[in-house]
A and B are shown apart, each in its own frame.
Chain A
Amino acid sequence: MVNFPRSEATGGTETLLLNVGPQHPSTHGVLHFMLEMAGETVVTAKPVIGYLHRGIEKLAENRTWQQVIVLTDRQDYVAQFSNEWAYCRAVERLAGIELPERAEWLRTLMGELNRITSHLIWYAGVTMDIGTLGTPFIYAWETRERIFDFFEAVTGARMMPNWMRIGGVRTDIDPALLADLRTFLERDFPKECDTYEALLTGNEIVVSRMKGVGVYTAEECVHLGITGPFLRASGLARDLRRDAPYGAYAKLDFEVCTDPVGDSLARCRVRLRELRESARMCIQLIDGMPEGDIAVKVPKALKPPAGDCYVRTESPRGELGVFVASDGTTRPYRYRVRSPIFYGLSAMPRLLPGHLLADMLVIFGGIDTSMGEIDR
């Protein structure tokens, strides 16, 4: 943990209360930081959240089990498929539903594509934060659009697919679409990844802004409840896709991307490598896609037996846990989301003090926030 002597920073002068957000271009949504500043140095940082609290957990108790999927899309609007998947897995575990293999593979494919689009949004955001106005953002968004075209062709919606169902998926994917996607991922995507790397890790200014900024050890991160790429950038190879495989991950050959350095630049490198790794997994998924049903028959008035269960998945941001409880009726008794960024943000008061204001946004960009998931 960072031990920052308060007296040294303030040096007897008055501190200044600085509000960053909720309407601020670098907070990626409606996050609000109350910072106590001594000159340019952060003395204390207090995240204020809840500006997007829509009460999804309560609304879920007033919907049927299937209707909740609509809410999970909107819960984290950057990683919609990951959230649908986590919820469906939890309910399937509770109700004891086994999926056909093709459904698992289709879900995994969409989950990995979603990881690519989510990391691209992180890439656009973090580069905007440090002042590269426009260029990386435009490149990242164009690639995202190409994947969104695929999402739209498969699910009928660009952003809110509502595609996974309890017991499978809603629509099958046309082989021609898969072939198109494969061409894109194999031929164009690696080149685009080269561009991203050139614009980020190949840019001298960006490197000097990020190198050595916010170095945290894996022990600190684990202690503070940080998961996902932030933790992997500190050298700990922890990834639920490998440690507790679900979907089709057990049958895929992939590498858990880590970096021993643990600074902001390492977090960028890990995410950029995950882009390539996800594309590689998608190609394996397309090649090995089994034939068969895409869903099992599940009663419309689904009534999972009374009880509760907790399921963790690896979302693009870290460990996304879903806790569902049933009382044997058609509505969830409790639906709870363990948001990786919620706990990532809770570490910020301990991680940020001692850093400069400009560095604070770089470090904060490293956890890749999505306010919808934090506030729910």
Chain B
Amino acid sequence: MKSDAFLDITDVVCPITFVKTKVALEDLDDGQILELRLNDGEPVQNVPRSLKDEGHKVLTLEDNGDGTFTLWIEKAGLS
């Protein structure tokens, strides 16, 4: 899937995972897509939910098979 920006948050833990994702989305325009690499476990459980809470659209989640996932998010909302 085509994306407008890429962010790797596998090197940080909660809540910096969400903080970095949120700030990366702020730099995009509505409708643009962020490609996010994140760890299995707590990040993959919580980050997509927090993004939905802020009105963003979670498009696809792919298991990379190495303990990480790739998430595509479409920026939406007022932020």
Q: Do A and B come from one complex?
A: no
Contact surface of B with A, Cβ cutoff 8 Å: none
Residues of A whose CB lies within 8 Å of any CB of B are: none
